[in-house]
Structure 1
């Protein structure tokens, strides 16, 4: 089988590797589509502290089960499945309190284990979620980023009278917007510096958009009648200054959700946190959110096709990476296509 391997930082190749057989409790998935995430690029550029090289990257993928290991029902053969990349021990403190996504022994496909940028991959059967045939394969490929959005909003909570502010109209920010609007129906404002991305935010349901390259968020909120500040803020950019600003502009009793891995510190005055009794909720990966998202997609509450802009043959992965990195105005979610050659 062919796999996309980051052999070391800045060196990627499509290479032939042995076709693996599923171990006990595993299934083998013949990959159909895989989504490119910013974290895949971080591994490629040597910016992910958790990755070990060489590594088959990719943690957003869908395919059909073509082999099962011992103990797995053979009736699963042929199922279309989306794979939750989170693997936990089930025994540490985090797992015992229902937070396996921050397990002490956490492993993630595409980071700690070889992932889905491959014609086939073996995964625990429990991580392979059946996808209804009514959901397009391309949409099912990106269940994972919607699960990330579901997780951060599960952490913060969403109330009917919330006014939400989402920093960043990249793929994750847009999945958050879709969930806020399609599932919860709250007023949602989105900021970015690219008009093209802000237009896509409108397509995903944003009520108002703000180009912070031309207008400060403080002025924009005043113009929009949100002088007391947003009650829910999601930071999908994670530059240190954004958290500082979010704390400053948030309404009393607001919640702030953080997505991302910035290693740079933020200078947050404790006085602001305490005065307004703000809640900060960090969020990593997803915590058993796949069934919830699959239900949302099947009901049409969120529509992943809105953010899919490109499909590229996986053998042209260098071209796909170039699109993601060099054309943010016209690209959002880029899928690698693993359709077999006729």
Structure 2
């Protein structure tokens, strides 16, 4: 089988690997489509501190179950499935309180174990979620990125009367816009970014107003508006302090970033307004929720997709995703 392998940082190969067989409790998925995420690029360049090498990358993927291991019902063969990359133990403290996404022995498919940029992938049967017929194959790999927005909004509990501010109009920010508008009915969603093309995408995905802070600070453009809900989908360490300064009293702030750089913020800036700060990593079993949203038409994943590539053009696809944020949003790979 063909697999995209990062042998070591900086070394990407489309390699022939031995066919996989599912172990006890696993299914084998014949991968049909997979989408590129920034974390795949980070693994390629050696900037993901959790990745183990060599690694078959890819954690956003869809396919059809074509083999099952022991203890898995053979009737599952032929199911169309989206794969949750979060593999957890089920019994540690985080798992026991509903946060398998920070399991004490967390493994992420495509990071800690081999992923879906491959003809086949083996995954725990419980991580392969059946898809309804009205979710097309070409969009099914996008269930996973929407679970990131599902996770943070579950903590933030958006309300229709909120004034929401999203930092960043990349894929994470765009999914957040769609979820806030389509699922929660938030009436006013503001988005800030430094690229006009990305701000145009934000409008197309439902934003009510956009701001370009490349030259003029956001605070000077808000005209006194104090957001009651803020999501940092740009993930720069300076954002947390600015978000706290701009937020309304009693606002909620959600952080998605993984930077190792320090953020400078005072206790006073948080407690004086009694701000609530939430952090979110991956997703905590949000796949059924997002699949339901897609099935009901509450979100439109097709609005994120700008490019399709065959698997053999993987390096071109990854480079485009990394280097051309003005014209490129979600890039989807077609396996065969």
Task: Please state which band the TM-score falls in when normalised by the shorter chain.
Answer: over 0.9
Structure 1 residue 202: Cα displacement: 0.7
Secondary structure, counterpart of 1:28 in structure 2: strand
Instruction: Summarize deviations over 1:202-241 as a string: whole Å, max 9, x none.
Output: 111000011111432112211xxxx251000000111111
The reply to whether residue 154 of structure 1 matches residue 151 of structure 2 is no
Matched, 1:215 2:226: no
5+ residue gaps, structure 2, are none
Q: Hey, what's the Cα distance between the residues in 2 that align with 1:327 and 1:75?
A: 43
- For the residues of structure 2 that align with 1:266 and 1:282, how far apart are their CA atoms? 14
Residue 92 (structure 2) aligns with: 92
User: What TM-score does the superposition give when structure 2 sets the normalisation length?
Assistant: 0.98
**Structure 2: how far apart are the matches of 1:215 and 1:79?**
51
Deviations 1:128-176 (A, max 9, x none): 0001111111211110110011001111111221100000000111000
Partner of 1:16: 16
The runs of at least 4 aligned residues of structure 1 exceeding 2 Å deviation read none
Match for residue 190 of structure 1? Answer: 191
* SS of match in other structure, 1:266: coil
* Cα distance in 2 for residues equivalent to 1:262 and 1:157: 25
Any idea what the Cα deviations from partners look like across 1:48-69, whole Å, max 9, x if unmatched?
A: 1111110001100000001111
Task: Report the secondary structure of 1:142's partner residue.
Answer: helix
Per-residue Cα deviation, 1:9-34 (whole angstroms, up to 9, x for no partner): 11000111111111121110000111
Within the alignment, does 1:296 sit opposite 2:297 as a pair?
no
Normalising by structure 1, we get a TM-score of 0.97
Instruction: Give the length in aligned residue pairs.
Output: 335
2-structure distance, mates of 1:6, 1:24: 27
Q: How does 1:153-302 map to 2 (within 5 A)?
A: 153-186=153-186, 187-222=188-223, 227-302=224-299
Distance 1:133 1:294 in 2: 11
Gaps of 5+ in 1: none
Distance (whole Å) between structure 2 residues aligned to residue 279 and residue 219 of structure 1: 24
Identify the residue that residue 5 of structure 2 maps to in structure 1.
5
1:80 and 2:77 are equivalent in the alignment: no
CA-CA distance at 1:336 after TM superposition: 1.0
CA distance, structure 2, for counterparts of residue 325 and residue 96 of structure 1: 37
- Partner secondary structure for residue 244 of structure 1: helix
2:70 paired residue number: 70
Counterpart check, 1:336 vs 2:333: yes
SS of the residue 1:141 aligns to: helix
Are 2:27 and 2:68, in contact at CA under 8 Å, matched by a contact in 1? yes
Task: Output one character per residue of 1:179-223: Cα deviation in whole Å (capped at 9) or x when no partner.
Answer: 01111121100111111111111111000011111432112211x
Q: CA RMSD in A?
A: 0.8
